[in-house]
A = this chain, B = another copy of it.
């Protein structure tokens, strides 16, 4: 029985890594579709999200099956619960990438504008966080997981900066309010992706040492009032 359970856990690890690889790839393509004004690439991101949804359902069913058949306790139980929650966050990151891609299609049909915030830096931070959080899950590394939580503050700061910058742009160029509001939303989606990634890292920490690190007061303020 224990051997079967260990095999199931290895299988779950592989499944969640497959899911996260597709999510990472889709996120990277969604951001590229904004900077390249590439509506076709954006449509590919949207279509690929069906695979992400299917993978999420598979992981959840596998978790439930493992819980029912092997009735794991202690570390194994915590691992499976962590995978269940991480699975959920990955799927939502996938949805946010779709939302970015939908805005890419919209923006590609409007007059070209320079992106009014540091999208490359925000996107690369969020992508690195996601990659590290999943590495931390696989290697059971709490130090790595903690470093993910720390990076969330940088993304929050960049998002706050975006608000100020875009407010200024709208003032100077009110003819493109619709585009600027879409850019604002893209910045916010990247910030929410970093939040979900932080949730993943916190679940990894909890799984490793039973220490609940959620509920820093900062969480709710990440998308804070303008000025």
Which of A's residues lie within 8 Å of B, judged by CB?
49-50, 53, 56-57, 64, 67-68, 71, 73-74, 77-78, 81, 84-85, 88, 95-96, 98-99, 102-103, 105-107, 163, 167, 170-171, 174, 177-178, 181-182, 184-185, 212, 214-215, 219-221, 223-227
- Asked if A49 contacts B170 (CB within 8 A), the reply is no
Measured in the bound complex, the distance between the Cα atoms of B182 and A98 in whole Å is 24
- Asked if B77 contacts A223 (CB within 8 A), the reply is no
> Could you list some 20 contacts between A and B, CB below 8 A?
A49-B220, A64-B78, A64-B81, A67-B81, A68-B74, A68-B77, A88-B88, A96-B220, A98-B220, A102-B221, A102-B224, A102-B225, A105-B225, A106-B226, A167-B177, A167-B181, A170-B170, A170-B177, A171-B177, A182-B225
